[in-house]
Amino acid sequence: MKIIVCVKAVRQELVFINKVQQSTYVINPYDLLALQNAINIKNTEACTIDCISMGPDSIREVLVKCLALGSDNAYWLNDKAFAGADTIVTTYVLSKGISKIGEYDLIICGEQTVDGETGQVGIGLAERLNIPCITNVEEIIDFTDKYIIVCVKYEDHEEVLKIQLPALVVFKNFKLISNTVSLLHLKKAQRKEIVRWSSNDLCFEKNWCGLAQAKTRVVNVTPELIVKEGRLISGNAKKKAVVISQLIQGRFDADNYG
């Protein structure tokens, strides 16, 4: 089985607001969950995982992380002409990249990104590739080289679906923290080749992509910083129990608490 995982690099402050990270970019949490599900398949079945991402020069570290986590190959769609792409342009460029990779059985996407939150790329990509698309996937229950069986979860019910391959599935939910990567795996990943393709490699004109063809424009992205005030409950166990009881009942007077 050959699996392609679509990954987007997002700025780390959009994911880890109150933490200092060494990396400027991290794997989009929704795509990290998608990659982890592909790795779970690889752990039980012989398969190849290819990660594909579109982005500027600064996202290379994200593709290295994908390789370190368990991806066999990484494809980087990198061209200044891609800048300003919306979901329509993104799905077009990704479809060209995937077609250039060649045959595949399954494409896995995350539900959305933490910066755009449109949730349109997976569906749009499947439409361009003319393959079935299943969204709201909670779990891949079973798979063969001909089909997969997935659990799809909605607010009020669940469904178990069998889909003939090739197909695209969109996982719901996200994963913030990746599995631990050893220093050895990271060093090996840094030495692996990352295939880098421009618009010329994908055989289409530069004016067919990027801001020129985008139907929407992102004017600004600002992370919403939510700061919560904490208060230490002091005293013996009895006093703490009284305070907790008042908090639960909504009768706690913070101004007069000392």
Distance between CA 98 and CA 126 in Å, rounded?
11
Domain co-membership, 159 together with 232? no
Whether residue 136 lies inside any domain: the answer is yes
Domain co-membership, 79 together with 103? yes
pLDDT score of 5: 97
141, pLDDT greater than 80? yes
77, pLDDT greater than 80? yes
Whether residue 222 lies inside any domain: the answer is no
Mean pLDDT of 248-256: 71
Whether residue 33 lies inside any domain: the answer is yes
Domain co-membership, 120 together with 150? yes
Whether residue 220 lies inside any domain: the answer is no
Q: Which residue has the higher pLDDT, 221 or 55?
A: 55
Here the CATH number for the domain that contains residue 165 is 3.40.50.620
| Total domains, the chain | 2
DSSP one-letter code for 5? E
pLDDT score of 242: 85
pLDDT score of 17: 65
Whether residue 47 lies inside any domain: the answer is yes
Q: Which residue has the higher pLDDT, 156 or 117?
A: 156
Task: Give the containing element (helix H, strand E) for 121.
Answer: helix 121-129
258, pLDDT greater than 60? no
pLDDT score of 159: 93
Whether residue 103 lies inside any domain: the answer is yes
Give the residue from 154, 76, 86, 137 showing the smallest Cα distance to 116.
86
Domain co-membership, 237 together with 178? no
- This prediction has a pTM of 0.80
Domain co-membership, 178 together with 234? no
Q: Is 48 helix (H, G, I), strand (E, B) or coil?
A: strand
What are the Cα distances from residue 42, in Å, to 10, 45, 48, 111, 186? Answer: 25, 5, 7, 21, 19
Domain co-membership, 168 together with 99? yes
98, pLDDT greater than 70? yes
Mean pLDDT of 188-196: 92
Q: How confident is the model at residue 163 (pLDDT cuts 50, 70, 90)?
A: very high
Domain co-membership, 204 together with 238? no
Whether residue 223 lies inside any domain: the answer is no
DSSP one-letter code for 114? T
Residue 166: is the preceding peptide bond cis (ω within 30°)?
yes
Domain co-membership, 206 together with 247? no
What percentage of residues in the chain have a pLDDT greater than 70? 88
pLDDT score of 225: 61
Q: Which residue has the higher pLDDT, 123 or 115?
A: 123
Distance between CA 238 and CA 245 in Å, rounded?
11
Domain co-membership, 146 together with 235? no
Mean pLDDT of 64-91: 90
Look up the domain containing 242 and give its range. 228-258
Domain co-membership, 237 together with 200? no
pLDDT score of 21: 60
Domain co-membership, 153 together with 88? yes
164, pLDDT greater than 80? yes
Q: Which residue has the tokens 């997002």?
A: 10
pLDDT score of 131: 96
Beta partners for 57? none
Q: How confident is the model at residue 184 (pLDDT cuts 50, 70, 90)?
A: confident
